[in-house]
């Protein structure tokens, strides 16, 4: 399998612009996660989906952030308008459920990340 595929790998944009990050999970995985990683805050869960349905979006920082999963093989994370404090590496990860069950290994397969710089 090709693994989790993210695009773009790098994005440099100006404050106020719209940013769209894309993710293709591993085929057959029914959970998809969006994380943000910074030096200051570490790895933060933004939102996760189960079978294309958003389950927990409590980590989304504010209304400027939105995420969709129109089908099992594609998800987007959109920031509009972007701000310098949004600069981070955004990771998409997928896993095979049942994520909620304690016995599940919980292994997340991460994409290579999208490094966002907002000037």
Partner 1 sequence: QKEVEQNSGPLSVPEGAIASLNCTYSDRGSQSFFWYRQYSGKSPELIMFIYSNGDKEDGRFTAQLNKASQYVSLLIRDSQPSDSATYLCAVKSNYQLIWGAGTKLIIKP
Binding flag, residue 25, partner 1 (CB under 8 A) = no
Contact residue for partner 1 among 91, 94, 116, 118 (CB under 8 A) = 91
Interaction between residue 112 and partner 1 (CB under 8 A): yes
Q: Does the footprint of partner 1 cover residue 103 (CB under 8 A)?
A: yes
Instruction: Report the residue number, 10 or 85, with the smaller CB distance to partner 1.
Output: 10
For residue 77, list its beta bridge partners: 21, 67
Interface characters, 37-66, with partner 1 (x: CB under 8 A) = -----xx-x----------x----------
> Omega before 8 cis (within 30°)?
yes
Query: Is residue 107 close enough to count as binding partner 1 by CB under 8 A?
Result: yes
Binding status of residue 108 toward partner 1 by CB under 8 A: yes
If DSSP codes are grouped into helix, strand and coil, which group holds residue 17? coil
Torsion of CA 26, 33, 77, 19, to 10 degrees: -90
Does 90 bind partner 1 (CB under 8 A)? Our answer is: no
Radius of gyration of the chain, Cα coordinates, nearest whole angstrom: 14
Whole-number Å distance between alpha carbons of 112 and 4: 8
């Amino acid at each position: 399998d090709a693994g989790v595929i993210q695009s773009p790998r790098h994005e440099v944009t100006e404050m106020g612009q719209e940013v769209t990050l894309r993710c293709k999970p591993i085929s057959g995985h029914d959970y998809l996660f969006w994380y943000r990683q910074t030096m200051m805050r570490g790895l933060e869960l933004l939102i996760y989906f189960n079978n294309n349905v958003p389950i927990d979006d409590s980590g989304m920082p504010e209304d400027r952030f939105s995420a969709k999963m129109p089908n099992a093989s594609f998800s987007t994370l959109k920031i509009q308008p972007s701000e310098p404090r949004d600069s981070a590496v955004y990771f998409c990860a997928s896993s095979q459920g049942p994520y909620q069950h304690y016995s599940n290994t919980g292994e997340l397969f991460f994409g290579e990340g999208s490094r966002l710089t907002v000037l």
